[in-house]
A and B are shown apart, each in its own frame.
Chain A
Amino acid sequence: DGGITQSPKYLFRKEGQNVTLSCEQNLNHDAMYWYRQDPGQGLRLIYYSQIVNDFQKGDIAEGYSVSREKKESFPLTVTSAQKNPTAFYLCASRRRSRGRDTEAFFGQGTRLTVV
């Protein structure tokens, strides 16, 4: 079955540590996105990528980094520079198309807690 997989589902981080959240998709989608969700804030864009080896900062990119070395994978690193990393993180992918448009597909999310 095609889909998008995030891991881990739950992650605990000590202050000062970097952690990496995994996002893998086998939908052959070009576009991938990382969002952060806090209560009452909706989805806020951290980074997005439209094609392999290229990505763009979103509204709240500070303290985060990404890579897009393969089409299927878009890992997100939460660095120690991110002052308030405790949140729910969602990864999404979408097919880029000049013709018929498509919806975005989401992973199950990773809940990151700083302890």
Chain B
Amino acid sequence: EDKVVQSPLSLVVHEGDTVTLNCSYEVTNFRSLLWYKQEKKAPTFLFMLTSSGIEKKSGRLSSILDKKELFSILNITATQTGDSAVYLCAVVLFRNYGGSQGNLIFGKGTKLSVKP
């Protein structure tokens, strides 16, 4: 069975801290990895990673993929209270029909709380 595992499941930090969120996967036919931020309703897209070792950056957020060790990390520097959210990792597979798991598999998310 294909798996996407995020850690930690929850995290509490103070403003200004730097955090690293982890996403590991065991899947067949890996295509890409997606990171989303979910505050109240719809997840909003952060990054798509397809190649190992190439860091993607957007402001204080950055992410990198390691296809050899099968994981990705999402870094947030100088955290702010507005970063409080659930961060979701998803893996896209090279297949149209993957049985009951489909071809877009999500982890359980990491709930980040940033205290003032």
Q: How many residues does chain B have at the interface if contact means C-beta atoms less than 8 Å apart?
A: 28
Let me know if B41 and A35 touch, CB within 8 A: no
* Nearest-Cβ distance from residue B12 to partner chain A, whole angstroms: 16
Contacts of A109 in B (CB 8 A): 41-42
Contacts of A40 in B (CB 8 A): 9, 108
Let me know if A58 and B100 touch, CB within 8 A: yes
Contacts of A103 in B (CB 8 A): 34, 45, 48
For A94, give its contact among B41, B99, B104, B105 (CB under 8 Å): B104
C-beta contact mask, B62-80 vs A, less than 8 Å → 1, else 0? 0000000000000000000
Q: How far apart are the CA atoms of A11 and B113 in the complex, in Å?
A: 29
Q: In the complex, what residue of chain B is closest to A59 when comparing beta carbons? A: B100
Let me know if B102 and A42 touch, CB within 8 A: no
Let me know if A101 and B31 touch, CB within 8 A: yes
Residues in A lying within 8 Å of B, measured CB to CB: 31, 33, 35, 40-43, 45, 48, 50, 56-59, 61, 90, 92, 94, 96, 101-109
Given A42-B106, A61-B100, 11 other A-B residues pairs in contact with their CB atoms under 8 A: A33-B102, A43-B88, A45-B100, A56-B97, A56-B100, A96-B96, A102-B48, A103-B45, A105-B45, A106-B42, A106-B44
Could you show 28 A-B contacts with beta carbons less than 8 Å apart? A40-B108, A42-B88, A42-B109, A43-B88, A43-B106, A45-B102, A48-B102, A50-B96, A56-B99, A59-B100, A59-B101, A61-B100, A92-B104, A94-B92, A94-B104, A96-B96, A101-B31, A101-B92, A102-B48, A104-B45, A104-B90, A104-B104, A105-B45, A106-B36, A106-B42, A108-B41, A108-B42, A109-B41
